Amino acid sequence: MKFRIPIWIKVLATALLIVLLVKTFAFTSCSIPSTGMENSLYQGEKVLVNKWSYGWRIPFTSSHLLADKARKGDIVLFNNPHPQDKETPVFARSLFISRCVGTPGDTLMLNQELLVTGKRVLSPDSKQLYTYPYQLEDTLVSTLRQMGMEGNTLVSYSEGRYVRSFSHYEYYLLKQKLGTAFDIHPLHAHQKEGSHPLVIPTKGKPVQVYPWNVTLLCNTILYHENRQASVRNDTLLVDGKPVASYTFRKDYYWMASNNPVNLSDSRLFGLVPHDHLIGRASRIWYSSRKERIFQPVQ
């Protein structure tokens, strides 16, 4: 008697094969682990990532076919560029998601805290720290509650002033709501002095070495260019020889969180090589906020 595979098994196997092919060749899913990308993406939301955005990366490798560069403003899924064990293959490393604010060849401004300045308004959701007098706290907490922003927690307290993190749009709404009681100001406005230009490395072009970028360049060469590098008295040594500039073999990006309190961005892990990119976050497929489901990622 000839054995026949039940139709439901065939359907299930076909469905699983389609899901596997789609996940391997077209899209993958990513869960947002923290509040670092609010208000663009909220903690716990799940997004679809287009794996063809920057060229297709061959499975179980870090090589791309038909490679294309990420664009400024993209929210990008990529592998951790600075893992504890740098021998771990790129494709096996943990996943990060951040907004691309610096592309190969761009010049950003870098201050002492490694914060990206220059064009400060990355998007209406781009956050920064604001300070206000402690006497305003009760009024502000009540206002935040009325606006549905109870999750906005106090960051720190210093010299009679409190510090919180707001997006540009939230700051605008608070200004309208508080009126004459508004006394909230950017914490880092005075830090524009002392900022230095940072050229994002692009493949095949030299980057000059300065005291303010020498450590960042050294770590990038050591971790991603597969060469020995060290710093001695603000001098960059590559393979034991002092250099005034270095020509990189890869394209690199600077990634940033919307929220400056969250350090899961290039201030912490440095420049991100192109071969670490997986794809661009394209659409939200799950959210506790029902109105956001199937909305495009912005």
pLDDT tens track for 42-88: 889 999 998 888 987 887 788 787 778 999 889 999 999 988 888 89
pLDDT value at residue 64: 81
Q: Is the pLDDT of residue 27 over 60?
A: yes
Assess whether 26 and 96 both reside in one domain: yes
Q: Is the pLDDT of residue 191 over 70?
A: no
Q: Write the CB contacts of 108 (distance below 8 Å, at least 6 apart in sequence).
A: 101, 102, 116, 117, 118, 197, 198, 200, 254
Q: How many residues can be counted in the chain?
A: 298
What does the mean pLDDT of the chain come to?
82
Q: Is the pLDDT of residue 103 over 90?
A: yes
Domain at 21, CATH number:
2.10.109.10
Please state at what angle helix 137-146 crosses helix 168-178, rounded to 10 degrees: 110
109 domain residue, yes or no:
no
Average of per-residue pLDDT across 26-55: 84
Q: How many domains does the chain have?
A: 2
Side chain identity at residue 172, one-letter code = Y
pLDDT value at residue 116: 39
CB distance 79 to 276 below 8 Å:
yes
Q: pLDDT tens across 148-190, in order?
A: 887 788 888 877 889 888 877 788 788 888 888 888 888 765 5
% of the chain with per-residue pLDDT over 90:
29
Assess whether 166 and 132 both reside in one domain: yes
pLDDT band at 203 (very low <50, low <70, confident <90, very high): very high
Q: pLDDT tens across 261-273, in order?
A: 665 678 778 899 9
pLDDT value at residue 192: 46
Cα distance between residue 135 and residue 181, in whole Å: 10
pLDDT value at residue 119: 38
Assess whether 99 and 179 both reside in one domain: no
Average of per-residue pLDDT across 93-103: 91
222 domain residue, yes or no:
no
What SS3 state is found at 15? helix
Assess whether 169 and 87 both reside in one domain: no
Cα distance between residue 166 and residue 77, in whole Å: 24
Average of per-residue pLDDT across 10-27: 60
Last residue in a domain, options 176, 192, 208: 192
Q: 10 Å Cβ neighbour count for 145?
A: 11
236 domain residue, yes or no:
no
202 domain residue, yes or no:
no
What's the burial of 194, exposed, middle or buried (CB within 10 Å: 0-12/13-18/19+)?
exposed
Q: Is the pLDDT of residue 19 over 60?
A: no
CB distance 113 to 187 below 8 Å:
no
Q: Is the pLDDT of residue 242 over 80?
A: yes
Average of per-residue pLDDT across 267-296: 89
Query: Which region holds residue 55: left if phi is over 0, alpha if psi is between -120 and 50, else beta?
Result: left
For 272, the domain range is: 10-103+263-292
What are the distances in angstroms from CA 27 to CA 19, 47, 209, 272, 273? 10, 10, 39, 21, 21
Cα distance between residue 284 and residue 45, in whole Å: 7
